[in-house]
Amino acid sequence: MTENAQVKALERIMPATHGADEDLDWPAVEAAWGVRFPSDYVAFMGRFGAGTVNGEAEILLPLPKPGLQWDPAQMGEETANARAMWESYGGRAAFDVDPESIIAWGVTTGADILCWLTTDPDPDRWPVLVCGRHTADAFAVYPYGMAEFLCRLLSDEFDVSPLSITFWDGGQHSFVHWRKAQRRWQEGRNPETGDPDPYAGDFAD
């Protein structure tokens, strides 16, 4: 697993207890996307993996994987959604970038799409782009990498929330890997908390 200072800082406020190494073939991932990915994202996938943050945001897999019960969210689908949103809001007239430079890494329950703006040749210098559904601006760029952005978000360091939702209610921050969430659901438990849930269980045939 690759160590990364920003991911280690994130882990201090959001334990990786329920995370898991995705064990990704990074050369294959990067060949599929045609880019090298930021080192904090690589480290995050090795320590936390894909899954949910506080039950309010989902960190995406870079390539599709079959789920235990349903297929987890992945980068290709949300990247297409972010680029379609850019187009529907007016394209370059709304936000003057090449849509191919937008790659999604997360999505929120408020339908915000969390992306990188990949115009810099160094992926460790890619800022976060929030494509917001109910934010002050539909497209807002933040000069942080993914892990630092999450860390600042979880530490309530933004004067105005960059998201359309209340991301944190003051309780302990949590991360749940997508496989653990699906196992909990199959066992009749809440995917986020692990508490018994009468509505959880197998999908009907």
Concatenate the DSSP letters of all residues of 99-152 into one string. GGGEEEEEEETT--EEEEE--SSSGGGPPEEEE-SSSSSSEEEESS-HHHHHHH
SS3 37: coil
Q: What pLDDT sits at residue 26?
A: 97
What DSSP element (H or E) covers 52?
A: strand 51-53
Cβ distance 191 to 179 under 8 Å?
no
Report how far residue 118's alpha carbon sits from residue 95's, in angstroms, rounded to the nearest whole number. Answer: 14
Q: What pLDDT sits at residue 2?
A: 62
Report how far residue 11's alpha carbon sits from residue 46's, in angstroms, rounded to the nearest whole number. Answer: 12
Looking at the DSSP bridge assignments, the partners of residue 139 are 131
Q: What pLDDT sits at residue 204?
A: 41
Give percent of the chain with pLDDT exceeding 70: 95
Cβ distance 51 to 175 under 8 Å?
yes
Write the burial class of residue 191 (CB in 10 Å: 0-12 exposed, 13-18 middle, 19+ buried): buried
Backbone phi and psi for residue 125, each to the nearest 5 degrees, phi listed first:
-110, 10
Q: Which residues of the chain have pLDDT under 50?
A: 204-205
Report strand pairing: 113-117 vs 128-131: antiparallel
Write the burial class of residue 130 (CB in 10 Å: 0-12 exposed, 13-18 middle, 19+ buried): buried
Contacts of 172 (CB under 8 A, 6+ apart): none
Tokens standing for residue 92: 């370059």
- Looking at domain 5-186, its CATH class is alpha beta
Looking at the DSSP bridge assignments, the partners of residue 189 are 196
pTM: 0.92
Report how far residue 91's alpha carbon sits from residue 6's, in angstroms, rounded to the nearest whole number. Answer: 33
Q: What is the total residue count of the chain?
A: 205
pLDDT (tens digit per residue) in 120-165 = 999 999 999 999 999 989 999 999 999 999 999 999 899 888 999 8
Domains in the chain: boundaries: 5-186
